[in-house]
Amino acid sequence: MPLNLLDPSLAVNGGTPVRTKPWLDNFTTGDEELRALKSVLDSGYLSKFEGSYTPDPPFSFHGGPFVQRFEAAWREYYGCRHAVSVNSATSGLYAALGALNVGFGDEVIVSPSTMSACAVGPLIYGAIPVFADIERETGALDPASIERNITPRTKAILVVHQYGIPADMDPIMELARQHDLKVIEDCAQSHAAKYKGRYVGTIGDIGVFSLNVNKSIQSGEGGVCITDDDDLSYRLELIRNHAEAVVGPAGYENIVNMIGFNYRLTELQAAVALEQLNKLDRINEVRMGYVDYLNEKLAEFDFLDLMPGREDSVSTFYTYPFRFNPEVAGVDYDAFHEALNAEGMYFLKGYRPLYMQPIYQTRTAFKKGYPWAAPENRDSNSVSYAPGTCPVAEEMEKRVLVKEYVRLPNTMEDMDDIVAAFEKIAGCAS
């Protein structure tokens, strides 16, 4: 039976909503962070970075004691050789692309259904973003679509583990090996997620994590890049910290893309991030418990296609996604979304494909149409940003709904409100 969204009991029609109290934001800090911040303040140094070649304290090219302590803890947790903190995952993505020598004449395969920085990053260095399509079941890049988009100009693949669900890394890495491509893993939404027993971020050449205020763990703003490659780690550090002023005194000769920035993390942020890392496993345990509960309860609704993650992997669910099936529900996506949120749910809509943004439709990032207009990129003029470029991504824009508050400090009672909203709407059948 189709849903009846005209039923007067529904809040969208003036009925009493399931929930009127606010959802709690991502409050993950407590006394531990207060003590850590006090330690920094007591030291008197809120940052100890030096934007020149100064490898030794008291001020250092590598940052202060809290930054270095945090990076060491991150290395230990993920079992990687190097962790380079940055002031955001966006900065981390830009630094990663620079470290991998991406530039004019190159193409980088990216997802159309994610945060905008993933596609803008290549443009910063003069490369062209190429959008591959996504999987319906996970929102991650589809390896088959990646393969169709590889050209002689392809330099790298930027993989996003969307929603905290790992991408299918085995075939992606096999494509990278076959075509001599670099792989960046965007792990902003997937702290401690695992693909076939391996932490995401440790599989490609560089993994990038976010410490933004909304992420699983956070320091307000911040990020971390990880790698097992010694030279890539040093290049990440150089780009983070005024590379152009450092490479000469340091005697570093591979200066391509060594225009540096200030992507540095403060001692205050590092101190908070270290305490947050100590809480990660517990935070994920609660999140995943909430997701399991919702999946069990919502499985009865035939107008929902749940997205539980890969069977051979561990998904940590930064957000809770599902696909709405309008053909089964008998109502359209926008009407269902409006009715659901009127019940106090605050679900977000799916991503609009990035290539529909004006920057790609007009191919205008910098003056004179650069980097698309650059002579080195003339062979990339056939890269498509037209409607239909990624049909699954375009379909998912009008099917996926995402709930952000499936996390602490919200409780299981709050999850029951989500279930009650679906039950109420499902009970209004024509």
Query: For 8-106, where are the E strands, in sequence order?
Result: 82-86
Q: What is the pLDDT of residue 290?
A: 97
Which of 392, 397, 385 is closest to 130 using CA atoms? 385
Q: Which of the 8 DSSP states describes residue 329?
A: H
Between CA 263 and CA 94 the distance in angstroms is 10
The 10 Å CB-count burial string (b at 16+, else e) for 48-63 is bbbbebeeeeebbbbb
Q: CB-based burial of residue 23 (10 Å sphere; 0-12 exposed, 13-18 middle, 19+ buried)?
A: middle
For residues 141 and 166, is the Cβ–Cβ distance under 8 A?
no
- Enclosing H/E stretch for 93: helix 89-99
For residues 362 and 374, is the Cβ–Cβ distance under 8 A?
no
Domains detected in the chain: 31-275 (3.40.640.10)
Between CA 98 and CA 127 the distance in angstroms is 11
Tokens of 167: 């991408």
Between CA 242 and CA 299 the distance in angstroms is 52
Q: What is the pLDDT of residue 45?
A: 95
Half-sphere CA count of 13, side-chain side, radius 13 A: 11
Q: What is the pLDDT of residue 59?
A: 84
The full length of the chain comes to 430
For residues 242 and 249, is the Cβ–Cβ distance under 8 A?
no
Q: 3-class DSSP state for residue 298?
A: helix
Cis bond before residue 371 (omega within 30° of 0): yes
Which residues sit opposite 3 in a β-bridge? 429
Residue recorded with tokens 């993933």: 118
Residue recorded with tokens 């270095």: 68
Q: What is the pLDDT of residue 261?
A: 96
Between β-strands 304-306 and 223-227, what pairing exists: parallel, antiparallel or unpaired?
A: unpaired
Q: Angle 67-72-74 (CA atoms, 0-180°, nearest 5)?
A: 95
Q: What is the pLDDT of residue 430?
A: 63
Helix axes 31-43 and 65-78, enclosed angle (nearest 10): 140
Half-sphere CA count of 80, side-chain side, radius 13 A: 28
Between CA 395 and CA 335 the distance in angstroms is 16
Q: What is the pLDDT of residue 56?
A: 79
Tokens of 287: 């999140």
Tokens of 314: 């561990």
- Enclosing H/E stretch for 205: none
Which residues, given as ranges, of the chain have pLDDT below 70? 1, 430
Cα→Cα distances 118→32, 73, 250, Å: 33, 26, 31
Q: Which of the 8 DSSP states describes residue 278?
A: H
DSSP 55-71: -SSSSBTT--HHHHHHH
Q: End-to-end CA distance of the chain, in Å?
A: 6
Tokens of 292: 């399991």
Between CA 31 and CA 40 the distance in angstroms is 14
- Enclosing H/E stretch for 31: helix 31-43
